[in-house]
């Protein structure tokens, strides 16, 4: 099996970090061409730095990291230090990166890479606000038909919102960008809160990361422990949801997930429900399906995969 070529577009974020580590620990299935950073959980200067910290943690300073858009298309940036801490990667004490940031802008890198590869051979994995992806699609509409698939974390239907009562963070930060992506005609798979809220890091699962005894295993345990404090309090759940790793796990083991191919539209104007992902889960309209909206996963299988792959780093 040839590994699937991907670009990870990200705003690390502890759960972004785990998603990246899962990809880098799975070279038989995934070839990470590059990592593009976007402003989201924390400002761009921190997300691009955190992406490099994670590559170095994984022993992969050869992965090129690019900085992209520092703000949403049409609104001021909203960040989430209340969840992720001041640095975005609070929890473990990791050294500052020594690997360089690439000079090229992330949007130009995305466009050039897709154009340079055969049609249908590059998948985009957005783990943050969709600003970089939408900007690339606006600037180079020809790439839409060349992209193999977009597998993204964002949105919610049954779980509704985590940053407002109606909206999930990634989509809320840049609803205009999300709207462009969902109207692009590209094959899209969505990991909404509906599924990520079932991927809970329980104490037992956290212990399994720590028990690996490796620097990466211990760092993952410390990262998930950090943002767990916030989520446990908020949801009263047994652990924090591990959102972004659902994206990279899907590339390796799609059989762990189930969902529906439905129409998804983004609310871009209402002040009350801005950034809501209006998913026609019950197919009550005749709007054409444009995305596979995932609703469930085998959580034990997911954490077994994650632990096994983190162990390889
Ligand atoms: Ca993220």
Structure confidence by residue, pLDDT tens digits, 207-224: 999 999 999 999 999 999
Q: What is the pLDDT of residue 37?
A: 98
Provide mean pLDDT across the span 42-57: 98
**The one catalytic residue among 84, 105, 197, 243:** 243
- Ligand 1 centre to CA of 16 (Å) is 5
Chain-centroid distance of CA 62 in Å reads 21
Percent of the chain with pLDDT over 90: 93
Task: Give the Å distance between the CA of 42 and the centre of ligand 1.
Answer: 10
- Cβ–Cβ contacts within 10 Å for residue 106, how many? 27
The predicted-structure confidence for 290-306, as pLDDT tens digits, reads as follows: 999 999 999 999 999 99
The pLDDT of residue 2: 93
pTM, full prediction: 0.97
pLDDT of residue 1: 76
Q: Mean of the per-residue pLDDT values for the chain?
A: 96
Please state, in angstroms and rounded to a whole number, the distance separating the CA atoms of residues 21 and 13. 12
Q: How far is the CA of 285 from the centre of ligand 1 (A)?
A: 31
Q: Is residue 69's pLDDT more than 80?
A: yes
CA 38/CA 29 separation, integer angstroms: 25
Cα separation of 82 and 223, whole Å? 14
Q: Considering the chain, what percentage of its residues have pLDDT values greater than 70?
A: 98
Span 264-296, pLDDT tens digits: 999 999 999 999 999 999 999 999 999 999 999
User: For residue 64, what pLDDT is reported?
Assistant: 98
Dihedral class, residue 136 (left if φ above 0, else alpha if ψ from -120 to 50, else beta): alpha
Question: What's the mean pLDDT in 72-101?
Answer: 95
Task: Give 279 Cα–ligand 1 centroid separation in angstroms.
Answer: 21
Query: Is 243 assigned a catalytic role?
Result: yes
Distance 117 CA to ligand 1 centre (A): 26
How many whole angstroms from 284 Cα to the centroid of ligand 1? 31
Model confidence at 235: pLDDT above 90: no
Please tell me the predicted confidence (pLDDT) of residue 24: 98
Non-local CB neighbours of 46 within 8 Å, separated by 6+ positions: 87, 88
The pLDDT, as a whole number, for residue 238 is: 73
Burial category of 279 from C-beta neighbours within 10 Å (exposed 0-12, middle 13-18, buried 19 and up):
buried
Arithmetic mean of pLDDT, 41-57: 98
* pLDDT bracket for residue 198 (50, 70, 90): very high
């Amino acid at each position: 099996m040839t590994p699937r070529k991907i670009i990870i577009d990200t705003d690390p974020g502890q759960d972004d970090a785990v998603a990246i580590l899962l990809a880098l620990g799975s070279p038989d299935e995934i070839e990470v061409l590059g990592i593009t950073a976007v402003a989201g959980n924390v400002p761009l200067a921190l997300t691009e730095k955190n992406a490099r910290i994670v590559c170095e943690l994984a022993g992969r300073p050869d992965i090129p990291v690019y900085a992209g858009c520092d703000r949403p298309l049409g609104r001021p940036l909203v960040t989430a230090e209340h969840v992720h801490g001041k640095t975005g990667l609070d929890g473990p004490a990791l050294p500052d990166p020594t690997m360089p940031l690439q000079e090229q802008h992330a949007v130009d890198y995305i466009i050039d890479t897709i154009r340079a590869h055969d049609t249908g051979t590059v998948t985009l994995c957005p783990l943050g606000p969709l600003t970089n992806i939408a900007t690339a699609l606006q600037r180079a509409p020809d790439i839409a038909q060349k992209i193999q698939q977009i597998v993204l974390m964002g949105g919610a239907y049954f779980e509704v919102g985590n940053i407002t009562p109606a909206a999930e963070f990634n989509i809320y930060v840049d609803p205009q960008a999300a709207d462009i992506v969902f109207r692009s005609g590209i094959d899209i798979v969505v990991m909404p809160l509906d599924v990520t809220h079932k991927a809970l890091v329980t104490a037992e699962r956290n212990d399994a990361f720590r028990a690996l005894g490796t620097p990466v295993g211990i760092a993952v345990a410390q990262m998930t422990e950090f943002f767990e404090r916030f989520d446990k309090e908020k949801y009263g759940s047994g652990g924090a949801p591990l959102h972004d790793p659902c994206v990279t796990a899907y590339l390796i083991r799609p059989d762990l997930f189930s969902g529906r191919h439905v129409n998804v539209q983004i609310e871009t104007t209402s002040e009350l429900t801005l950034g809501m992902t209006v998913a026609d889960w019950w197919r009550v309209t005749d709007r054409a399906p444009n995305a596979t909206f995932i609703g469930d996963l085998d959580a034990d299988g997911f954490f077994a995969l994650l632990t096994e792959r983190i162990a390889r780093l």
